[in-house]
Amino acid sequence: MTDRPAVSVIIPVYNTGRYLNECAASVKAQTFADWEAILVDDGSPDDAPAICDALAAEDERISVVHKTNGGLSSARNAGIEKAQGRFIIFLDSDDVLEPAALSMLIDKMTDDIDAVVSNVYTKFFESGKPEAICRHMPQSEELTDPKEHAVKTLMGKGRAWRAHSNLYRAGLIREHGVRFPEGHIAEDIVFNLRFYKYTRSIAFVDEPTLRYRKREGSITSSFDPAFLRTIDFIDGEAKAFIEDCGISDAQGYVDSLYVRNVLVYLNSMMKHKRSRSEALDMLSTARMKEAAKNYCAYPYFESGAKRAYMRMMFILQRMGLKRLSIFTAGLAVRAIK
């Protein structure tokens, strides 16, 4: 390995000991060999810390950071501090890189490109459901201008939030102090908005680079009441992005993102049988009323049924039909998978 590897692979580890060897093996199997892997043990209570140490002992390209538990953002930020690579990729410790992932990403990283977005991934299920090839957005709608991508895709479509499996120019992260927000979930969109403020151009890879494990009990599979607070935090970050970038005509996209996030949370509330009065209060805030009047885009889902459902829910918000929205969400969580 050279003194400064081309790519730093940052892998936060928490309670994923049974997946960690498979994840690390996928990095070691990369056709592109100039990498370092940083395993960040975030105070994991299982056997993951010992597995991390064993992996580092086997391969000099792998190092370990042991720290007290601080959450996913804290672990990723600790990895950023240790990273030596010219580029950084984040990988969740229960996921698997495709063998040519780093090669495909590096090939797109020319001198004027600051980030490469992995647009296609394979979703596989612990439950035994068939695997699915998924896209963040149709290839025809990929936007290489990072500001336009942030506004129209991350905000307007509610897509391509994920930071993991994308490739980022590390120099920009270091120069501008871009970090993940600690104390919030849905941290990826915030990191991307903060990074894209300084980005010249982005590229896309349209072949699967990642095998994304969908498992019960993961962060993305569980209900978290804290997401309601996070919705307002994301809203503030989106407003700051358009203000800092001097984009004067994008408030409608910020509002679209806010409505989308509230409605996604409403679905989660209904799925987990939360109080309908609590849901009504959420839909009745001044910010929600403002956003429902001014949104300019509908979120994108690969499922046509989900796209149609969410468009209808957006329209119900604009019409002020909150109780009907709650009733409809209660039906949808049972009917639309």
Is residue 181's pLDDT more than 60? Answer: yes
Q: What mean pLDDT do residues 95-119 have?
A: 97
- Among 32-41, 156-165, 221-230, whose mean pLDDT is lowest? 221-230
- Tokens coding 320: 């002020």
* pLDDT the model gives residue 184: 87
State the pTM of this model.
Answer: 0.93
- The answer to whether 91 touches 212, Cβ cutoff 8 Å, is no
* pLDDT the model gives residue 207: 96
What pLDDT band is residue 296 in, cutting at 50, 70 and 90? very high
Q: What mean pLDDT do residues 149-171 have?
A: 96
* pLDDT the model gives residue 185: 84
* pLDDT the model gives residue 157: 95
Which CATH superfamily includes the segment(s) 7-220? Spore Coat Polysaccharide Biosynthesis Protein SpsA; Chain A (3.90.550.10)
- Torsion sign across C-alpha atoms 310, 213, 153, 189: positive
What pLDDT band is residue 1 in, cutting at 50, 70 and 90? very low
Helices (H), 90-216: 101-108, 146-148, 170-176, 187-196
Domain assignments of the chain as residue spans, ordered by start: 7-220, 223-335
Query: What's the pLDDT tens digit per position in 21-65?
Result: 999 999 999 999 999 999 999 999 999 999 999 999 999 999 999
Query: What's the pLDDT tens digit per position in 88-98?
Result: 999 999 999 99
Q: Cα 60 from chain centroid?
A: 29
Q: What mean pLDDT do residues 210-226 have?
A: 70
What pLDDT band is residue 222 in, cutting at 50, 70 and 90? low
- Among 24-28, 38-42, 229-233, 333-337, whose mean pLDDT is lowest? 333-337
Is residue 74's pLDDT more than 80? Answer: yes
DSSP annotation of 140: G
Tokens 């290489």 belong to residue: 144
Helices (H), the chain: 17-28, 48-58, 72-82, 101-108, 146-148, 170-176, 187-196, 227-244, 251-271, 276-283, 286-294, 304-319, 322-335
Query: What is the three-class DSSP state of 61?
Result: coil
Distant-in-sequence, close-in-space partners of 252: CB < 8 Å, separation ≥ 6: 294, 295, 296, 297
Comparing 334 with 218, the larger pLDDT belongs to 334
| Angle (CA) 98 102 104, round 5° | 90
Is residue 251's pLDDT more than 70? Answer: yes
Is residue 219's pLDDT more than 80? Answer: no
